[in-house]
Amino acid sequence: MGSEVPSQGAIREPAMEGKPLVTSKQKTEVVCGVPTQVVCTAFSSHILVVVTQFGKVGTLVALEPSAVTSDISKPVLTTRVLLGQDEPLIHVFAKNLVAFVSQEAGNRAVLLAVAVKDRSMEGLRALREVIQTCQVW
C-alpha cells in the first residue's frame, strides 16, 4: 500500500510525464593514446559535459550564451572558470570544445569539467567527436 507512487506527483509536471528528470550518457575512448572518459548530462537549464583523462573533474568552466551580436541565432559564449586555474588557453579550449553543444541544445548554457593531458587541435577534434556520441541535448 505505501509502496505505490502516484503517476502525477508534485515532483513531475504533466509535460514531463514519462521522461526522466535527468538524462545522461557516458563513453570511454582512447584519445591521442590516452583513455578518456566523457559524460554528458542534460539538466533543464544546463548541459554538463565532463571530459577527463585523469579520473577527476579538473577545471570547471561555465559557458553562458549572451545575445550581444546582431545574429541572435549565434550568440556569443561567455566563459568563466568556476574551479581550477583561470588561464587564457582554457577559455579558448572550452569554447572550441563545447560551443556546438550550446548551439545544438537551443543556446543552453554549458558547464564543462575538463582534465586532459593533450590540448592540441588534433586532441580537441577527437574529444569533440566523443562528446557528439554522448548527445543528450
The CATH number linked to 30 is 3.30.230.90
Looking at residue 20, its pLDDT comes to 75
Bridge partners, residue 35, by sequence: 30
43 in a structural domain: yes
31 in a structural domain: yes
- Domain range for 44: 22-133
Looking at residue 3, its pLDDT comes to 44
7 in a structural domain: no
Could you tell me which of 89, 19, 102 has the C-alpha nearest to residue 63? 102
9 in a structural domain: no
pTM (predicted TM-score): 0.82
Looking at residue 5, its pLDDT comes to 41
Looking at residue 125, its pLDDT comes to 97
6 in a structural domain: no
Looking at residue 11, its pLDDT comes to 43
- Contact residues for 100 (Cβ-Cβ < 8 A; gap 6+): 128, 132
Q: How many structural domains does the chain have?
A: 1
Looking at residue 100, its pLDDT comes to 96
84 in a structural domain: yes
Looking at residue 97, its pLDDT comes to 97
Bridge partners, residue 109, by sequence: 46
Question: In whole angstroms, what is the distance from residue 52 CA to residue 102 CA?
Answer: 20
Q: Block means of pLDDT (10 residues each) for the chain, length 137 residues?
A: 43 57 94 97 96 97 81 79 96 97 94 96 97 96
16 in a structural domain: no
8 in a structural domain: no
